[in-house]
Chain A
Amino acid sequence: EIVLTQSPGTLSLSPGERATLSCRTSQSVSTSYLAWYQQKPGQAPRLLIYGASIRATGIPDRFSGSASGTDFTLTISRLEPEDFAVYYCQRYGNSPPMYTFGQGTKLEIK
């Protein structure tokens, strides 16, 4: 079973700063299978990034994703007030076919 570990659990930053969120997988996974979501209180998750680095439709270019081995990173270049939320990584696995989420990183205003 592949486990996704997100860090940090909570990240406290100010608007305008750069945010770097990490998602580490316990086994190597294809970059095609890694996605990032944003969730605000009371709302459904919103797809940000898929294929590790491809921005979903309508997602601002301050959001970017990257991968290095088993480490995946979501970077928000300059935080806007609306970016403070919880972020989840998700990975698809094909043996057995299923999706797994990380435990989430809460990005809060400092």
Chain B
Amino acid sequence: QVQVQESGPGLVKPSGTLSLSCVVSGGSITNNWWSWVRQSPGKGLEWIGEIYHNGRTNYNPSLRSRVTISVDVSKNQFSLQLTSVTAADTAVYYCARNTVYCSDFWGQGTLVTVSS
């Protein structure tokens, strides 16, 4: 069974760059799209963007100017970078596998706090 696991710093300074990785195990990163989703404390889910193994990406228009998602097929992982962060970017960040216009396997999530 496919598993995905997020990792990265839990604390980022305002105006800095948030960087997270998601490693895929139990399956190949090829032939699926892979998403990042976030959830601010006590709030709903917000889709950030997705990537295919060939590097093709789609982003949420509301975040596009600050987001970069990349993939490393050799490591079976993909990554998220979010620049110019503010307190509003404090959230639990999830990575997930996409299939048939939904996400079927999710990581447990990692809390990233933006604070000085």
State the A residues within 8 Å of B (CB).
32-33, 35, 37, 39, 43-47, 50-51, 56-57, 88, 90, 92, 96-104
A75 CA to B106 CA, complexed, in Å: 23
Q: Which of B43-66 contact A (CB under 8 A)?
A: 44-47, 50, 58-61
The binding surface of chain B is classed by DSSP as strand
Q: Distance (Å) between the CB of A45 and the closest chain B CB? A: 6
What residues of chain A lie closer than 8 Å to B59, measured between beta carbons?
A: 98
Given contacts A97-B58, A98-B47, A98-B60, contact A33 B103 (CB under 8 A): no
The reply to whether B47 and A100 contact each other, CB–CB distance below 8 Å, is yes
The reply to whether A44 and B94 contact each other, CB–CB distance below 8 Å, is yes
Other-chain contact of B104, A51, A56, A92 (Cβ < 8 Å): A56
The reply to whether B47 and A101 contact each other, CB–CB distance below 8 Å, is yes
The reply to whether B101 and A101 contact each other, CB–CB distance below 8 Å, is no
A100 CA to B48 CA, complexed, in Å: 10
The reply to whether A44 and B47 contact each other, CB–CB distance below 8 Å, is no
The reply to whether B102 and A50 contact each other, CB–CB distance below 8 Å, is yes
What residues of chain A lie closer than 8 Å to B60, measured between beta carbons?
A: 98
B28 contacts the other chain (CB 8 A): no
Q: Distance (Å) between the CB of A8 and the closest chain B CB? A: 15
Other-chain contact of A32, B44, B58, B101 (Cβ < 8 Å): B101
User: 8 closest Cβ contacts across the A-B interface?
Assistant: A35-B102, A44-B106, A92-B101, A99-B47, A50-B102, A97-B58, A101-B45, A33-B101
Other-chain contact of A96, B61, B101, B104, B106 (Cβ < 8 Å): B61
The reply to whether B58 and A47 contact each other, CB–CB distance below 8 Å, is no
What residues of chain B lie closer than 8 Å to A57, measured between beta carbons?
A: 104
A106 CA to B97 CA, complexed, in Å: 25
A91 CA to B95 CA, complexed, in Å: 17
Other-chain contact of B61, A43, A46, A50, A98 (Cβ < 8 Å): A98
Q: Distance (Å) between the CB of B47 and the closest chain A CB? A: 4
B107 contacts the other chain (CB 8 A): yes
A39 CA to B47 CA, complexed, in Å: 15
